[in-house]
Chains A and B, each alone.
Chain A
Amino acid sequence: QSALTQPPSASGSPGQSVTISCSGTSSDVGGYDYVSWYQHHPGKAPKLMIYEVSKRPSGVPDRFSGSKSGNTASLTVSGLQADDEADYYCGSYGGSNNFVFGGGTKLTVL
């Protein structure tokens, strides 16, 4: 159960788009369409932004989108806003009733 691999940081200017990658293996990301993404403002509860690779929970803006190719999933944030500045974590079902997170990516809005 190794952590999924995310870049430690990403950045973009307001209005721009940024994509965060999440690399795993065929035992987790590549093996199931159960990739999720979480937004975490320090000191607050993490918030589910994407589930089942590309689905958005009610209330999450369509500026947030997810995709997957092979063992790598991606989160794209379009039309960056100041409030998007946060830590983002991917997560994946890892088989055998296990779950694994990525190491997290700090998104900075310049």
Chain B
Amino acid sequence: RKEVEQDPGPFNVPEGATVAFNCTYSNSASQSFFWYRQDCRKEPKLLMSVYSSGNEDGRFTAQLNRASQYISLLIRDSKLSDSATYLCVVNLNSGYSTLTFGKGTMLLVSP
């Protein structure tokens, strides 16, 4: 099983749509989970951390399902500026600060 796995997409959605991404991870003992955003040829930037109880930041909602070992990202009311690659990131080695990055899911929002 790949350590952090994402659907590469692309997801093509119109403005205003709701879109959801899932990501699975291999280590049930993982403790830290994040979603990063990466624009073309730029550095990854933290979008949000993912907490056990789920969390929301404006139009973005992240959820964690430990039993099934996946995290999700929901984007409501998509904007053109949301077009980017979304990286699922997991601390697979509990107790260490190294993170494992998924290969990313590309989102394209069209007018």
Q: Is this pair of chains taken from one and the same complex? A: no
